[in-house]
Structures are given as structure tokens and as C-alpha cells.
Structure 1
Amino acid sequence: METIQDFKGLQYQFTTDPIPRKAYDANNVEYATSTHQIDHDMFPGLIAFPQNDDDIQKAVKYAKDHAYAVSVMSGGHQYSGACSTHGKGIQLNLKLTYKGPQDLVILPQLPSPDSDRPLVYASVSHSLGEFNQFLRDHQLFVPHGQCTDVRLGGHAQTGGYGQLGRSFGLLGDHVWGIRMINHDGEIQEVTKASNAELFYAILGGSPGNFGVITHYTIEAHRDADHDFPETGPRPHGFKGVWLYSETVVKLLLNEVAAMADDQAFPRNFDLCVSVLSSSFPMFKLMPELKDNLAEILQRIAEAVGVNGDTKWPACVVLYAQWVPMNAEDKYTDKVDAWFQRFRNLDSFLKYWCIHTAEPIEPMSQMTGEWLFTRPREFDHPYEKRTYMTNSTTLVQDKWVDQVADRIHQVLAPSLSHLALWENCFLSVQIQCFGGKYSQYYANRNNGTAYSWRDSTVCQVLDCFHKEGDKGKALAQGWQDANDKLMCGENSSFSKQDKRVLWASYGDWDMDKSWPFYYEDQAKYERIGKQRYLADPRGTFTPNPFNVKAVKN
């Protein structure tokens, strides 16, 4: 970096990585996942890989004394570049900092003081894949996201959305304690008991702006409390892959809409539908496809009229799950009838269905079924949209028809939308979170600041595009049209534009865009007061996308 000489006075023992400017762009999976990386000029003057607490403390103290900004990246990715900073700033990459045997352990003082669940001490340097495997090895589980390369640091701060959202809530709901290095370079332990306001602000406020989080203490669930192989019910899952057709999309999304509209739907059920463009690496999503590869490729060839072409066509993916909450929570005919709807699609759409599976296994193993083992879906820059809604009239408002039509414009090679089909690649994920029994809703007042906890559906529309102005303009145009349809007084989806921090996009100035991420000004200012107390000199203000500090 051209400004690296600014940091020559920093006495550090950590590794530096002054990667060239051209490598720190929208196509570098390690650092940037958006076309907006360049727009926001997020090219740090120094990228440092600390080895331990001491390295971080030296860097923070140096930055504070010399009025430099510090951004924190735990090693995964952040869409809008908010884990980065400008040429006069330092980025601390914690990917390798806390990977010792002491950094991922089950604490001996079992159970948690606040529940009967075990406590897991986990560093922010661990990926979701590593964390998930550790829990599986110990017959434990927590809800978390599906991208294995994402690290725990930012993931927990922004919620930790994932497949178990209705049945168990967010990963952040399970954080009991936070260990961090504060603006004075001191180690600070934060819990609800020790500092309820700071705990609240960190879990749902702007990530990376309160200090350098090093570890979380997380309350985990035991397999034994939700799996009864000898005497009772067991967790039951369903995975399906269909070749893309608008009919398949509508049938599956109507299941999501109907489930979201039913406020009495039991807690035990989770449902997520994905739609993916051609060439998506499907083996990274469902490794078991390799077991019947020849048969599957033959079916694909027959369905799409291609001979010998092994490139994956566009597909629709379904994840469905039921989990017993106790030994008396039986797998009834009514539960089986829910899964039967998806089995019926296999029969009804046999020409289109290329794979189904029904895992029946402990929850620690079930969580691994939903993981995606790749940094991101397509190796292209992309325009992201994430829409939340609290609607319970999605079926009658015909939201499914609208979103299915938007998807079809990109995935169907029609003359009117040929440029979209040729230049854009979709990764769509639509998940139900609704119902009065949903733990996503039930945990809304648990001492964390995550917003929009009354949401019934989360709709993620990622439009990857070929490099260059044409691809970017097409993706932006497609997303601009989605904004008008999915948010607003006449929208079939949501009357208000509601977003989540992990999927941030749009206006880079949080002090202008906060109404999209927080319910009201009182909440925004409540977090802002903790920002000022935690960072009075602005050391952890590396870019505009953070909650504005408010003096008491």
C-alpha cells in the first residue's frame, strides 16, 4: 500500500501483508465481496495479522495515540466492505490469531449460570465450518449460518442467521459472554450481568466499532435433549434439488408464504428455498450428489437436452427440518404430512427433480447438512438485496408470483431479457422466520439489539454479474426494480424497507441509512451512547458505516 510508511513507528510483532491495490477489489474473495469496495475506497494503509493479544494491544494503542482508524476483520467476508478502512487506517485480520487448543473448548463450569446448557468458549478466528465440526464432535449444536468460510466475529455481532432460525433463534441469542480488547488496549469481559447496555449494543449494533472482540462464550444445546432414538422422536430433515422452472419456484415459495402467514405454526419447523443460476458448484452444497453422479448427469442431460455437458444448470434447492423439543414431542401424521408435500413434488415433478434426501439424525449432524463449503456462490462481484417483512398476508397478496417473475427474468433466456441471462447469475435464498412460537420472534427482548424480530420472511436476492460496466449496470437495474416491488406502500411483500447488518447495501453513511437497520431513533441513539463510551476518540471508526457516537 502506498501509505504503509505512515505506520513505521508501530512496533509490532505481527505479519504485514501490503497487498497491491489491484488485488484488493471486488473479485478478491479474501477481502471484498462487492462492487462497492472500490466505490467506498476501502483500501487500508496496512493489513496486519496479529499473533496474540499483545500485538492487538500495541496496534490499538498506537492507532489511538496517532489518530489512526482501526478496522477489524475476523477472517471471513463482509459484503459492503465495512470490515475495511481507508489508506490512513489499519485493518486487523484475525484469521490466524486465535487458533490454539485453548481457543475452542467446552468450559468446565457446566452448566451456564443462566440455563442448564453447556458453555463453549470460541474465538473469532474460527470459521463456521470449524466451529460446527467441533460442536458435532461433542454432540452439541447452536443455530448459525450456512457459509463455512465466515468467521464467528462479525457473524455473531450481526445476528448469525441460519437454517434453525424458527426453532432456535439466532447465534447471537446464544452468546453469554464477550471478551474484547477495548480502546485503551485493555482486555474487557462483557456479559449482561457486568454491562447490560454494552452487551446489548455489541450484539446488534455496528460490528467492529466497540473494540476488538477476541472470543465469545456461547450457550450450546445438547443432542440428547432433542434426539430420542430408542424411546421417541428424532430430528427429521428434507433436502431437494430440482432443475429450475418457474413452476417449481412458485410451488415451493407458496409453502414458505403459507407457513409465514400462519401465526400458530409450531416452533419445530424450519423451511428455506434457494434458487441458483447455472454453473453453481452444487457439490459444495450437497456433497452426497457424487454418490449417484452418473445417474444424475444423465437425468440432467435428458431434461435440458444436452449431451455430455456436465455443467450444472440452474436449480432450485429446498431445505426443510423438524426437530422435537422434548421426548413427548411426537413425529405425528400431521408432521409427516408436511414432509409429504415435498415428497409429492418429487413425484409430481419427476422430470425436474434430480435429488432428494431425508436425513434422520442428531441435531449436531443435521446442522452440517445445511452448510455451503465455498467462500461465495460465484466468483464475480455482485449487487445484494435483503428484504425483511412482517406480513401475514403473503399468499393473498400474491407476493410469490412477483418474486418468481423477477427470478425468471434472469434465469430464462427470453429475447426481452437476454442481456440479463447472459451477464447475471442469481443466488436467491428465501426463508420463513414467522409465527408467534418462532424463537426468532420469541427472543426479541433478550438483551440484544438485533432488529426486525417480528419478521415472517427473509428474502435474499444476490445478483452476481460479469466484470465491467455492462454487467454492473444490468445487476443494478434489476435490483432497482426489485426495490420498488419489495418495499413500499403498494408492495406485496413489505410496506417498509427493512434490512439486516450482515447484508448491508445502499447508502454508505449509517447516520443517514439507520432507519433501514433499526426500528426507531431511540434504539439507534441508545446504541450510539455505548459507541461513545466504548470509543470516545473514534479509534474504531474506520468508515462511515457505523452507528454515530452520541455523547451522554
Structure 2
Amino acid sequence: MERIQDFAGLQFPFTIDPIGRKAYDANNVEYATSTHQIDHDMFPGLIAFPRNDGDIQQAVKYAKQNGFPVSVMSGGHQYSGACSTHGKGIQLNLKMTYKSPQDLVVLPALPAPDDKRPLVYASVSQSLGEFNAFLKSHQLFVPHGQCTDVRLGGHAQTGGYGQLGRSFGLFGDHIWAIRLINHDGEIQEVTKANNPELFFAITGGSPGNFGVITHYTIEVHRDVDHDFPKTGVRPRGYKAIWLYNEKVLKLLLSEIAAMADDSEVARNFDLCVSVLSSSFPMFKLMPELKDNLDEILKNIADALGVNGDTKWPASVVLYAQWVPMNAEDKFSDKVDAWFQRFRDLNKFLPYWCIHAAELEEPMSEMTGEWLFARPREFDHPYDKRTYLTNSTTLAQDKWVDKVADQINQVLFPSITHFDLWENCYLSVQIQCYGGKYSQYYANRNNGTAYSWRDSTVVQILDCFYKEGVKGKALAGKWQAANDKLMVGENSSYSKQDRRVLWASYGDWDMDNTWPFYFESRDKYERIGRQRGLADPNGTFTPNPFCVKAAKS
């Protein structure tokens, strides 16, 4: 119990782990993190579950008085471990802190920048699944990520990347106001109008390092502005699962490359391709699979040449979407031809498609189609990479062949890579964000600090592995090869190392690695000046993965 004696003066309900490691076991979904966290011994001395503002204020004041750092976890997963701290620090878990009806409401009309868009007041304790369902009940929607259990707190601060990135931008682009508890324990509201520098720093700077955010006021979109059933102009979607096949993967990634290379693609289109290792619970991704289970299992058995019980094999998943921006946008022959290319895959590769569905529905329903209803892809430790590029020559540079070969090494049980296949599990997500009409790009100067807004593709390569030295070494070696292939002067993907704030790399001291996360020193120092004002005593400096505080 020695680790917790320093916290005896903190009096409110909390959960304490006297060993300091049990709560962070890789198989504990609540606190499942990366090997990155284990390597850096980020196991807090105390995990506290505050009930309200008062508990948070008390904890912050106590930490400030006693020199204890505070980390903030809004309740989902922060895979890189940056929501944690060391044995002399306090982690505040806000998963259940703000869950009352008044913590998620549509606000009365306010002078928002666009008077057609409603404002929603939402707490950081809301999961993406809960938030999405609430918006759907009001025929509203907003771009956000695909992991249903992620909470709004960290999701907004790190951007909020998701399926609607080209058509509507990032979730963080829609933040109108931020409510937080600062280092003095005072409640503060931050907007672009009343404190533009702090607003800029919070939205894209160091998550959790400017105070304890409790709520956001968010501009959202209305179904009626993008769905016109009387004239047949409606949002369309296509989602499908294929058994893993390198040919299928290359065809789909070629569509992403072609889209990224064409700067004239209208903002209406969004495209994302995922790859998942065997044993992934596909019912969590597409619940409708249960309706045709017998037929699906037969198709799997026929395609793989096996009989009897079949576990879910490695799969390739496609999410494609077209959304009208106004009543004049038509579902033209050109748009239909785009979807037809995905339909044709089922003709050219019979038996390989497990499931395909065409969607025609309001956006408040469509956004729910892209949610991934599981807290964690695989219950194992992992090594994560995110690679961004601004390339518009991906097709001619043969990027598709390079990344497909890397994926195939893990998913195809060849003699030369059998250890990878046996010990590693992939969760890959590759999405197009590029084009001059993309809202991801168009929002680049909107008063937020989210970086690399000229990127054309975001590539996420997560390698989960069996616990132990062997699995960790194999995953590390595979990711090291990816680092060489995806970044560098001779890379077919990106000449520059571009990262987002939710990956895992060996050096996580931000003062050393800031050029990978921010475009310029001026931007890094601009955020640092706000850190110095917001965190003068180091109360919100729980680990090295934060912008260094500087004097204003």
C-alpha cells in the first residue's frame, strides 16, 4: 500500500489499485493500453472517479498544493497511454462523472456562426455510440470516429478523425465552446471569441494538459439539409466485407490512391478501407450479419475449402459514402459508376464477399452504419503507427503494392513469415482525406491547431500481438519495416514523417518529437505559451507526451 499513502488527504470516492499494474492489464478493456505505456512505467499511484465538478476541483487543488501531476481519462481508450501518469500521479477517470440528462442536450437557438446549425451541449463522459444515438433521435449528425466506446473528451482534442472527414471535416472542427476546470480549480468557458489562443491550443495541442475539460458545445448538422427524399436526392452508402485476399485489398486501395491523387474530387465522397485479422468479431462491426449466418458460413467454407465450424477469417472491410450538400446535387451516372466499381468486385471474385449492403438513408442514420461496436479490436498489447501523406502520386509510385505486401506478411501464413501470422493480429484503417474540396483541407485555418490538413491519406497500422517477448519483438520488427517504407526520401508514401496524437512510438518526449506532430516551431511555441499560462505549476504535466510549457 506504499504507493497510495501520499493521497490519504484526498477524500472522495475513488478506486485504488495498490499494486499499480492490475488496472492496466492488457486484457482489462477498461484500461487496456499499449506496450508503450508499459515500457514507460505509466501506472498511476491513484485512479480516481470523481462524481461532479466539486470532486474535480478538490482533486486539482490538492494535486497543485502537494506537487502531484494529474492526468485525465474521459473513459474510452487512449491507446498510446498519454492519458496516464506515473506512481506519484493521479489519474482522473471521468467515464461516469457527467452522465445526467442535462449533460447531453440540444441548446436553444444561440448566435452560432451558421444560424441553420443547432448547438449541442455534450459532456466528455459521453461515448461516441451514446452521442451518435442522441443526435439520431433529433435527426442531427456530426462527423466523428468509428470506435463506439471512445469518449468525447480526448476524441475532440486529438481531432476526431472519421468516415465523414472529406465531406464534413473533423469532429473538432465543430467545437463552438469548451468548458473546463483550470489549474486554480475554477470553471472556465473558452471560445474562439473570448480566448482564441487557448481555444487554438486545446484543439490540437496537448490533450489533457490545459485543464480538466468537462463539456463541449458543438455545432451539428441537420438531416433536412442533406436528405431530399421527395426528389430522390438522398445520402448513399456502400459497406461490404470480403474474406482477406491480396487482390481484393489491392483493388480497394487502388481506389483510395486514385481518389487521393485527384485534387478535383467533390467533397461529397468519403472512402475508407480496413483490414482485420482472423477471429475478429464481425458481428460487432455489422450486426446485420446475424440475419444470414448460415449462408455466410457456407460461403466462407466454400471459399476456403473447409467444412464444419469456421471462425471468422481475416477480412477486408469497405465503407463508401456519397452525401448531397444541397438539393441540386444529383445522384448522377458518374456517382453511380463509382459505387458500381465496388459492386463489380462481387462479380469478379465470387464467394469472397461475405456481405455487402447498399444504403439510402438520412445522415443521422448513416453515421451509425460506420460505428465499430467494440471497445478494443483485439484483447492484446499492441504497437501502433499512423502515417499521413500529402502525396498526389500514390498510384504511380506503387504505394499500394508496398503496403499490401506488408499486410500480406502478417495475414498470409507463408513459410517465411509464419511467426508473424501466428503471433500478430492486424487492425488496419486507410482513408482518403485529400482534394481541394475536402473539408478536412478547407478547415485548415479555422482557429484550431490540428496539424497536417493538406494530407491526402491517413494510414493506420495497428499490430496487436500475443503477450510475451516473442510477440512484442515480431510486432516491433514489422513496424520498423513500415517506418522505413512509409517515410523517407525514397518512400512511395510520404517524404515527411507526419503523425497524429494517438499513435505509439519509442520516443514520446514531445520536446524531441514535435516536428512529427506540428508543422512549424512557431506553432509548437505558440501552443507552448498557452501551456505555460494554463499549467504554471506542472499540475497537468503527467508525462513527457505534451507540448513543453513556455513563458508567454
Residues 26/512 of structure 1: CA separation in 2 closer, same or farther (3 Å cut): farther
Describe how 1:262-277 pairs up with structure 2 within 5 A.
Answer: 262-277=262-277
The equivalences for 1:410-429 within 5 A come to 410-429=410-429
Matched with 1:355 is 355
Aligned to 1:239: 239
Residue 217 (str. 1) matches residue 213 (str. 2): no
Give the 5 Å matches for 1:64-75: 64-75=64-75
- Contact 2:20–2:44, Cα closer than 8 Å, also in 1: no
Q: Distance in 1 between matches of 2:32 and 2:490?
A: 35
* Corresponding residue of 2:399: 399
The residue number in structure 2 matching 1:390 is 390
Correspondence 1:458 to 2:438: no
Asked if structure 2 preserves the Cα contact closer than 8 Å seen for 1:50 and 1:97, the reply is: yes
2:481 aligned partner: 481
Q: Which moved more, 1:402-411 or 1:505-514?
A: 505-514
Residue 46 of structure 1, CA deviation = 0.8
Amino acid in structure 2 at the alignment position of 1:21 = G
Moved more, 502-511 or 391-400: 502-511
Matched residue type, 2:508: W
Deviation at 1:350, TM superposition (A): 1.6
Q: Name the CA distance, whole Å, in 2 between partners of 1:51 and 1:91.
A: 14
Identity of aligned residues (%): 80
- Runs of at least 4 residues off by over 4 Å: none
* Amino acid corresponding to residue 193 of structure 2 in structure 1: A
Shift of the alpha carbon at 1:371? 0.4
Residue 62 of structure 1 corresponds to which residue in structure 2?
Answer: 62
Letter of the 1:137 counterpart: S
Work out whether residues 243 and 314 of structure 1, in 8 Å CA contact, stay in contact via their aligned partners in 2. yes
Alignment of 1:115-154 (within 5 A): 115-154=115-154
Cα deviation 1:316-363 (Å, max 9, x = unaligned) = 000000000000111111100000000111111122111110110000
Where does residue 175 of structure 2 map in the other structure? 175
Provide the rounded CA distance (Å) in 2 between the counterparts of 1:247 and 1:19.
51
DSSP-derived class of the 1:3 partner: helix
TM-score (norm 2): 0.98
One-letter amino acid of the counterpart of residue 453, structure 2: R
Per-residue deviation, 1:114: 4.7
Task: Give matches, 1:11-160, under 5 Å.
Answer: 12-18=11-17, 20-23=19-22, 24-110=24-110, 112-160=112-160
2 CA distance for matches of 1:247 and 1:519? Answer: 36
Which whole-Å deviations, capped at 9, do the CAs of 1:380-401 have from their partners, x for residues lacking one?
1111011000000000000000
Which residue in 2 is equivalent to 1:191?
191
* 1:343 counterpart residue number: 343
Asked if the contact 1:141/1:364 (under 8 Å) is kept, the reply is yes
CA 1:457–1:93 in 2, change beyond 3 Å: closer, same or farther? same
Q: Which moved more, 1:88-97 or 1:36-45?
A: 36-45
SS in 2 for 1:415: coil
Cα distance in 1, alignment partners of residues 432 and 170 from structure 2: 13
What is the letter of the counterpart of residue 337 of structure 1?
A
- Relative to structure 1, the CA distance from residue 21 to residue 63 in structure 2 (aligned partners, 3 Å threshold; closer, same or farther) is closer
Which ranges of structure 1 fall in alignment gaps of 5 or more residues? none
3-state SS of paired residue (2:523)? helix
Q: Contact 1:25 / 1:38 at 8 angstroms: preserved in 2? A: no
Q: Would the alpha carbon gap of residues 19 and 238 (structure 1) be closer, same or farther in structure 2, given more than 3 Å must change? A: farther
Query: Residue type of the partner of 2:43?
Result: F
Gap regions ≥5 residues in structure 2: none
User: Is the CA contact 2:4–2:18 (under 8 Å) kept in the aligned structure 1?
Assistant: no
- What code does the residue aligned with 1:16 have? T
Spell out, residue by residue over 1:421-462, the C-alpha distance to the aligned partner (whole angstroms, 9 max, x if none).
110111110000000000000000000000000000000110
- How far off is 1:284 after superposition? 0.5
State the secondary structure of the residue aligned to 1:317: strand
Find the aligned partners of 2:324 and 2:505 in 1 and give their Cα distance.
Answer: 37
Query: Which has the larger displacement, 107-116 or 432-441?
Result: 107-116
Deviation at 1:22, TM superposition (A): 3.6
Kept in 1: contact 2:26–2:379 (CA 8 A): no
Deviation, 1:491, is 0.0
1:426-505 → structure 2 map (5 Å cutoff): 426-505=426-505
The Cα of 1:25 is off from its aligned counterpart by 3.2
Partner of 2:330: 330
SS at 2:464 equivalent:
strand
| SS of residue paired to 1:496 | coil
| SS of equivalent residue, structure 2 residue 96 | coil
The one-letter code matched in structure 2 to 1:67 is G
Which shifted more, 498-507 or 162-171?
A: 498-507
> Mean alpha-carbon deviation: is it higher for 500-509 or for 284-293?
500-509
Give me the whole-angstrom Cα distance separating, in 1, the residues matched to 2:517 and 2:27: 27
Opposite residue 18 of structure 1, the aligned amino acid is D
Aligned-residue offset at 1:28: 2.6
Per-residue deviation, residues 86-120 of structure 1 (Å, max 9, x unmatched): 11111000000000010000001246255421000
- Contact 2:44 2:91 survives alignment (8 Å): yes
CA distance in 1, matches of 2:505, 2:309: 37
2:538 partner SS: coil
Q: 1:469 is aligned with what amino acid?
A: V
Contact 1:155-1:502 at 8 Å conserved across structures? no
Alignment size in residue pairs: 551
The two structures, once aligned, show a CA RMSD in angstroms of 1.0
Matched, 1:374 2:374: yes
Pairing 1:300–2:300 present: yes
Asked if the contact 2:300/2:351 (under 8 Å) is kept, the reply is no
Aligned residue number for residue 309 of structure 1 = 309
The one-letter code of the counterpart of 1:230 is K
Contact 1:111/1:119, CA 8 A, preserved across alignment? no
Classify the secondary structure of the residue corresponding to 2:242. Answer: strand
Aligned counterparts of 2:354 and 2:432: Cα–Cα separation in 1: 24
Contact 2:383 2:504 in 1 (8 A): no
SS for the counterpart of 1:199 is helix
Cα separation, 1, equivalents of 2:184 and 2:324: 47
Contact 1:26 1:38 in 2 (8 A): no
Measure, in 2, the Cα distance between the counterparts of 1:39 and 1:330: 53
Deviation of the 1:40 alpha carbon = 1.1
Q: Distance in 2 between matches of 1:503 and 1:460?
A: 9
Q: 2-side partners of 1:171 and 1:22: how far apart?
A: 33
Q: In the alignment, is the contact (CA less than 8 A) between 1:32 and 1:81 conserved in 2?
A: no
Report the AA paired with residue 64 of structure 2: K
Deviations 1:13-64 (A, max 9, x none): 2333326434223333212321122111111111000000000000000111
* 1:408 paired residue number: 408
Query: How far, CA to CA, are the matches of 1:278 and 1:2 in structure 2?
Result: 43
Contact kept, 8 Å, 2:20 with 2:87, in 1: the verdict is no
- In structure 2, the residue matched to 1:512 is 512
**Counterpart amino acid of residue 466 in structure 2:** K
| Letter in structure 1 aligned against 2:500 | V
Matched residues in 2 for 1:341 and 1:360: separation?
Answer: 18
Distance in structure 2 (CA, Å) of the matches to 1:110 and 1:199? 19
- Deviation, 1:295, is 0.2
Could you tell me whether the CA contact under 8 Å between 1:232 and 1:327 is conserved in 2?
no
Q: Retained in 2: the 8 A contact 1:180–1:189?
A: yes
